[in-house]
Amino acid sequence: MKDKQKKIRDQRFMMTTTGNGCVEKIKPLVESVTSKIQTIGAIADENARHTKKVTNFYDPKIQGDCLVHDELTHTVHSFRHHKCQPQQWSAVQKWIDKKEYWEWNLEITHISGSEREMSVELHLPHPIFPGPAGSGHSNWQLWLPVSQESLGNDYGLRKTHCCKCIDERTDVPLPLCTLFHTEDDVSLGFSCLLPPDQMWYTDFEIDQRNWMTKITFKNLGLLRQGKIRLKLWCFSHEGDWRCALGWLRQKFPNIFGPVPGQEKLDGNMAYTIPMLPEKRIKDWSEKMFLRWNELFYCRDFGNYFPDEPFDASQFKTDEHPEWSVDNINYDDINRYIDMCHKHKVKVMPYFNIGDCESTIARKYFSDCIVKTISNDEMVSWTYYDKKTYTLLMNGDPAYPWFNFVLEQFEKLFKRCPGIDGLFFDQTGYGWIDTAHFDGETFYNNKPAYNMGHMYQRAFKKIRQVFPRPRIIGLANSIVRWPTMEYYDGLMADGDPGTLGRLSLLSPERPTVCLAEGENAFQSALYYGSWLHVSPYYRYPTKEPLPKDAVKLFAAYNPLMQLLAGRKMVYDPSPLKVQVEFDNLYKTSTLNYNENIKANIFKTAWGDYAIVVLALPKGLALEKNRYMPLTVNVRVPEKKSLKQAVVMGADYQGYSIAKTSLKDDGYLEFKVPKHGAATLIILTKEFNKLPSDKKKLIKKGQ
């Protein structure tokens, strides 16, 4: 006898499931759409396409399932195909209508036998696409939180991991996937999210060709007489990835919203040892907008409150003995802090619970050293002398290493009360630690530790001791999104590409792109981020600032400063930018059928800022580097935004364009010339801008 079907619905979709929780179909609640009809042979010929009102949507009849794998017995149970469950454990799945979202629950209960490792595959069919059958593929746009751009509807197979190490390009700290569709008469989005209390290692595999999303939960520990409880949320929204992120922002303001004190991080940073010459700090502040100093003041990772006198010699080598400042004390540090404050620069000492110099670790904290899946120690950093190195540590508050580090910084703040905050380094290690147990993770059927738990548990206690806004804290990367509750901003260390993932975790808080060259400036502008000042020296030096770097900072800094306090825009399809051209042979190589790299933000004072990045230079741009643009914006305040103030990184001055409201609901205006980078302030009236913003615009370069 077939299980009785169950149905749940919200304002956009209806889900049908079997009695035991397997998803039968997800149907959009729209009756008709006006859609482009296109046969396979007409893909390359726009003239062969036409529009038609469609009422019958293509249903591929793809059905979901839930597979529970017993890694001890190497058996699998399918909720759809198997009626009898194993004797050693039982599993129950169900869907719950939470009004704001649908929650999938799976509870696995131990009955008899040994403890074991489990894994679970949840198979979710894609929602039925609101359009014609076409070639039978799903035509949903796909977005994964790897950047602020859609991955399109290329019918491919996409996979992300959540999350062992942010440095691995397939790993994302936000376990979310979004399918969306936007046309004139339909705007739909459907997202799947691992809620914040679910720290499991999880893979998202989205197969647009076969209409299926597979979510795999791994390394689940089933203890004797214990339970495993898994959750997944599904929620609907308007048809854009921005709306999915906006839903999260509204649901979790403590994670995604602004926090007190974060404004202290608005500005470029420097990573140095102490006692840099005052002229260097002054020049950085005035010419490169330096606003905070990550200070590495000691010799060894782990010895964060050294006895006086001490050497800040972590970067010292035989070839470069000058990469050090020796025989200093805490009074020297206090004088350095006062000097930095004189030049509007905050000071944030280096803080790290994940690394310890190997000799210290083995001698005093051997029981806190992380072991990899091969039962080896992990070397996490090598000093510049190429001899000394650190080991990866488990900084869970249950272990002595955590208290040892925390107590040192409590002493440091007493000796140096002028400290403004802490730079939380190496907060992106999420690997499995086989030497410890977090209470729920197993590897190879044995207890293990998901390092994501370490940061969540440790920083909850750290923030109790060092609360905001008195103590600000910016983190270098992140393993999982709930930890943003404790960070005031994020750094993308070394790779501008990582900034795309991290910016989504800090949509209303500062970010830093720790890279050099003009590519870093372009990335920082696109994501509303900040940079490391140049030259990238960490030690006392009297060399003049490099002229080329000063020129770049002079060009980009006014644009970047206008983005201080920016917020991401969560409205659907808010921005379209197009290069104007007479014909296809006299335009940018990027223009035809491709998107121009552009982004839009809400400014700190309530207007909008648009950034447009450089176009690739083809033969058409050989003599003239500038191209005119047409910009279309759709935001709630569009009727009141009468002027667009345009400025560029590669020319002096600014211009003001008038906006006009089009029939399609977009606000349109022209940009007379676009070159290396353009920033546009969309406002009611230029003369009513805050005085400091007008001054910055008029100052230009």
Q: Which region among 147-151, 165-169, 355-359 has the lowest average model confidence (pLDDT)? A: 165-169
pLDDT in tens, 275-325: 999 999 999 999 999 999 999 999 999 999 999 999 999 888 898 888 899
Give me the residues paired with residue 104 across strands.
95, 232
pTM of the model: 0.95
Helix-, strand-, coil-residue percentages of the chain, each rounded to 5: 20, 35, 45
Vertex 311: Cα angle to 306 and 316 (nearest 5): 130
Quick one: angle between helices 278-288 and 547-561, nearest 10?
50
Residue 273's pLDDT is what? 94
Q: How far is CA 385 from CA 234, 310, 316, in A?
A: 51, 18, 7
Distance CA 467, CA 473 (A): 9
Q: Is pLDDT at 47 greater than 70 in this prediction? A: no
H or E stretch covering 458: helix 451-465
Q: How far is CA 696 from CA 197, 282, 566, 680, in A?
A: 44, 20, 16, 13
Give me the residues paired with residue 601 across strands.
568, 609
Q: Which of 172-176, 494-498, 604-608 has the highest mean pLDDT?
A: 604-608
Q: Which of 359-368, 423-432, 617-626 has the highest mean pLDDT?
A: 359-368
pLDDT in tens, 678-688: 999 999 999 99
Residue 446's pLDDT is what? 98
The class level of CATH for 567-699 reads: mainly beta
pLDDT in tens, 625-667: 788 899 999 999 999 999 999 999 999 999 999 999 999 999 9
C-alpha R_g of the chain: 27
Q: Is pLDDT at 616 greater than 50 in this prediction? A: yes
Which of 64, 66, 54 is closest to 181 using CA atoms? 54
Distance CA 211, CA 62 (A): 7
Domain with CATH 2.60.40.1180 in the chain: 567-699
Token output for 81 = 């195909």
Distance CA 339, CA 345 (A): 9
The DSSP output letter for 127 is P
Amino acid identity for residue 639 in this structure: K
Q: Is pLDDT at 43 greater than 80 in this prediction? A: no
Contact 292, 251 (CB under 8 A): no
Number of helices and strands in the chain (H, E): 11, 43
pLDDT in tens, 327-342: 999 999 999 999 999 9
Distance CA 239, CA 607 (A): 24
pLDDT in tens, 216-255: 999 999 999 999 999 999 999 999 999 999 999 999 999 9
Pick the CATH number of 271-351+400-430+451-542 from 3.40.50.720, 1.10.1040.10, 3.40.190.10, 3.20.20.80: 3.20.20.80
pLDDT in tens, 167-184: 666 789 999 999 999 887
Domain with CATH 3.20.20.80 in the chain: 271-351+400-430+451-542
Domain with CATH 2.70.98 in the chain: 6-29+54-251
The DSSP output letter for 368 is G
Distance CA 681, CA 608 (A): 6
Token output for 477 = 């990367």
Token output for 221 = 């520990």
Distance CA 559, CA 9 (A): 46
pLDDT in tens, 229-240: 999 999 999 999
Distance CA 177, CA 206 (A): 8
What end-to-end distance do the CA atoms of the chain give, in Å? Answer: 76
Residues 64-69: what's their mean pLDDT? 98
Number of Cβ atoms within 10 Å of the Cβ of 477? 23
The residues near 691 (Cβ < 8 Å, ≥ 6 apart) are none
pLDDT in tens, 439-463: 999 999 999 999 999 999 999 999 9
Contact 694, 683 (CB under 8 A): no
Which of 632, 548, 640 is closest to 596 using CA atoms? 632
Question: For 6-29+54-251, CATH number?
Answer: 2.70.98
Give me the residues paired with residue 94 across strands.
105
Q: How far is CA 561 from CA 2, 173, 203, 693, in A?
A: 63, 28, 38, 9
Residue 139's pLDDT is what? 82
